[in-house]
């Protein structure tokens, strides 16, 4: 399991964009998103953490790798991301 905090993920559109970006490079990946904590958990089938991070970044977001057992870090306003802001 690979986990990222994506602080500039703010809505369902962001979730969809990130999920599509991940599946574009690994169509069989299992993607779980918790919008409240801004965490994206991925069980890759064919890709690695760097490839997944790059795909999320190319979709316009800022993924930060985290230890899956770590508590989410509170952040101030997101820096970029979705068209909804």
- Quick check: 82 pLDDT over 80? no
pLDDT (0 to 100) of residue 85: 52
CA dist 43 to 15, 33, 75, 81, Å? 16, 12, 25, 23
Domains for the chain: give ranges and CATH numbers: 2-66 (3.30.70.100)
pLDDT (0 to 100) of residue 78: 47
23-32, 46-55, 64-73: the lowest-pLDDT one: 64-73
Separation between Cα atoms, residue 72 and residue 82, nearest integer Å: 21
Per-residue pLDDT tens over the stretch 9-33: 999 999 999 999 999 999 999 999 9
């Amino acid at each position: 399991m690979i986990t990222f905090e994506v602080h500039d993920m703010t809505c369902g559109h962001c979730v969809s964009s990130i999920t599509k970006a991940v599946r574009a490079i690994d169509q069989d990946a299992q993607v779980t998103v918790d919008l409240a904590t801004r965490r994206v958990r991925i069980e890759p089938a064919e890709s690695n953490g760097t490839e997944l991070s790059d795909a999320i970044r190319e979709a316009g977001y800022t993924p930060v790798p985290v230890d899956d057992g770590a508590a989410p870090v509170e952040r101030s306003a997101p820096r970029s991301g979705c068209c909804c802001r």
